[in-house]
């Protein structure tokens, strides 16, 4: 895969020492907007990806990301809470944060709250008051009790007057290009809340690189963090890191931080581990793509029905990166709001699990292996026993 040799300035540490290692010429600029027709999905606009690795801090970012190509609105459907596996994780996380930070009767702000599922959990379980920010929030989607307000907007400096004891930002920072500016803006907004603690959750880029997980690279995600680069970002942004760990089968990085007056310089070895994984990804991505293309072609020639389990961003990245058409029959998703819609870029229909009775699959490719037990149970209830292939399978 040919990549440009130009150096880019890192939005994480401002070093002019980042080089592109992976690129896609066209991929949908939104992966989880609901498309009601196949034609609409096929015609959805795309953008380019050029992932660069910073040799100073290990941060990875899309050098050609253009936020003007995106429009987060009500049709943006990223809800995961229909999964019992994910719901259990969320409830356990909420309880751990409540206990660790004594979040009872406190003021909670969530940046990028989606439909408000997690904010409602942590407020309901701890008797807290919540304020959520998200331009795609839909009022009434999530039932909640207590004192919670939602603002259909991006969080910015104009909301800095809101007091917070705890700030949550789950699976949002990876959607932001100017990450250092954003973290500094959050820090500045807490000037009048010096006791505040922040909790951020992002995908773990180390896993993406190690697994050669091209299905986890899509346009919305313009920023990719390893544990080291995430720690560095917050330390340089005026925070003291209290806790940094992986969770959800090592898919997520979770960082907790408090305000600090110190700025920690970048350690000399911070990019070393990430550099190794970037080289690994570069050396193996072509084989990974070829393996999946050959597998799907074989199944098509054998006239086997192949389905993807998952109709969100992973599905869109998998289908469009491989330029898949008839090799995959349909996508399956338990989110009822996705039923009958179509995947951006490839136009594959998304069906509910109960629809499988009408067109039973021979093979199910599971886009997130953590859900395999849950999927097996659903298939068992339906009386179906297709071959289950985890997306992480190597060919």
Q: What whole-number distance in Å separates Cα of residue 26 and Cα of residue 136?
A: 24
The CATH homologous superfamily for domain 301-390 is NAD(P)-binding Rossmann-like Domain (3.40.50.720)
- Cα–chain-centroid distance for residue 275? 22
The strand pairing partners of 13, in sequence order, are none
Q: What whole-number distance in Å separates Cα of residue 125 and Cα of residue 364?
A: 37
Range list for CATH 3.40.50.150 in the chain? 84-265
Q: What pLDDT, on a 0 to 100 scale, did the predictor assign at position 77?
A: 72
Check pLDDT > 60 for residue 87: yes
Q: What pLDDT, on a 0 to 100 scale, did the predictor assign at position 234?
A: 95
Does the domain at 84-265 match CATH 3.40.50.720? Answer given as no
Q: What pLDDT, on a 0 to 100 scale, did the predictor assign at position 79?
A: 80
The tens digit of pLDDT for each residue in 192-210 reads 888 999 999 999 999 999 9
Neighbouring CB atoms inside 10 A of 200's CB total: 27
**DSSP H stretches of helix in 57-137:** 84-101, 117-126
390: enclosing H helix or E strand:
strand 387-390
Q: What pLDDT, on a 0 to 100 scale, did the predictor assign at position 141?
A: 74
For all residues of the chain together, what is the average pLDDT? 93
Neighbouring CB atoms inside 10 A of 187's CB total: 18
Q: What whole-number distance in Å separates Cα of residue 333 and Cα of residue 82?
A: 10
Q: What pLDDT, on a 0 to 100 scale, did the predictor assign at position 139?
A: 79
Check pLDDT > 70 for residue 226: yes
Range list for CATH 3.40.50.720 in the chain? 301-390
Q: What pLDDT, on a 0 to 100 scale, did the predictor assign at position 272?
A: 83
Q: What pLDDT, on a 0 to 100 scale, did the predictor assign at position 261?
A: 72
- The residue-averaged pLDDT of 292-321 equals 97
Give percent above pLDDT 70 in the chain: 95
Structure token pair of residue 379: 């298939």
Across the beta sheet with 330-332, the strand order is: 350-351, 330-332, 306-309, 363-366, 387-390
The tens digit of pLDDT for each residue in 253-262 reads 999 999 987 6
CB 226 within 8 A of CB 204: yes
pTM, whole model, 2 decimals? 0.93
């Amino acid at each position: 895969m040919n990549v440009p040799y130009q150096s880019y300035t890192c939005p994480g540490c401002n070093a002019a020492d980042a080089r592109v290692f992976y690129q896609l010429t066209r991929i949908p600029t939104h992966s989880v907007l609901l498309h009601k027709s196949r034609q609409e999905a096929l015609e959805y606009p795309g953008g380019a990806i050029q992932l660069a690795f910073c040799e100073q801090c290990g941060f990875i970012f899309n050098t050609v990301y253009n936020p003007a190509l995106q429009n987060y609105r009500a049709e943006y459907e990223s809800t995961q809470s229909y999964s019992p596996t994910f719901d259990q994780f969320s409830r356990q996380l909420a309880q751990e944060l409540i206990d660790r930070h004594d979040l009872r009767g406190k003021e909670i702000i969530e940046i990028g709250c989606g439909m408000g599922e997690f904010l409602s959990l942590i407020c309901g379980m701890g008797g807290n008051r919540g304020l959520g920010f998200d331009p795609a929030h839909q009022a009434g989607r999530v039932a909640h009790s207590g004192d919670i307000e939602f603002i259909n907007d991006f969080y910015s400096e104009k909301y800095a007057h809101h007091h917070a004891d705890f700030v949550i930002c789950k699976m949002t920072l990876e959607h932001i290009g100017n990450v250092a500016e954003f973290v500094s803006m959050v820090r500045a907004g807490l000037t009048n809340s010096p006791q505040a603690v922040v909790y951020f959750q992002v995908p773990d880029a180390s896993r993406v690189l190690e697994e050669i997980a091209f299905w986890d690279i899509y346009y919305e995600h313009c920023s990719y963090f390893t544990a080291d680069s995430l720690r560095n970002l917050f330390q340089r942004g005026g925070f003291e890191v209290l806790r940094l760990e992986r969770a959800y089968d090592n898919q997520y990085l979770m960082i907790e931080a408090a305000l600090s007056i110190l700025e920690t310089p970048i350690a000399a070895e911070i990019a070393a581990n990430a550099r190794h994984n970037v080289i690994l990804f570069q050396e193996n991505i072509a084989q990974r793509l070829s393996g999946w293309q050959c597998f799907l072609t074989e199944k098509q020639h054998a006239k086997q029905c192949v389905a993807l389990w998952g109709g969100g961003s992973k599905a869109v990245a998998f289908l469009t990166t491989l330029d898949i058409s008839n090799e995959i029959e349909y996508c399956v998703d338990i989110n009822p709001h996705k039923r009958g819609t179509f995947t951006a870029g490839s136009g594959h229909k998304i069906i509910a699990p109960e629809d499988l009775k009408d067109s039973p699959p021979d093979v199910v490719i599971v886009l997130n292996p953590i859900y395999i037990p849950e999927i097996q149970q659903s298939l068992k209830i339906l009386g179906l026993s297709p071959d289950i292939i985890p997306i992480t399978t190597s060919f």
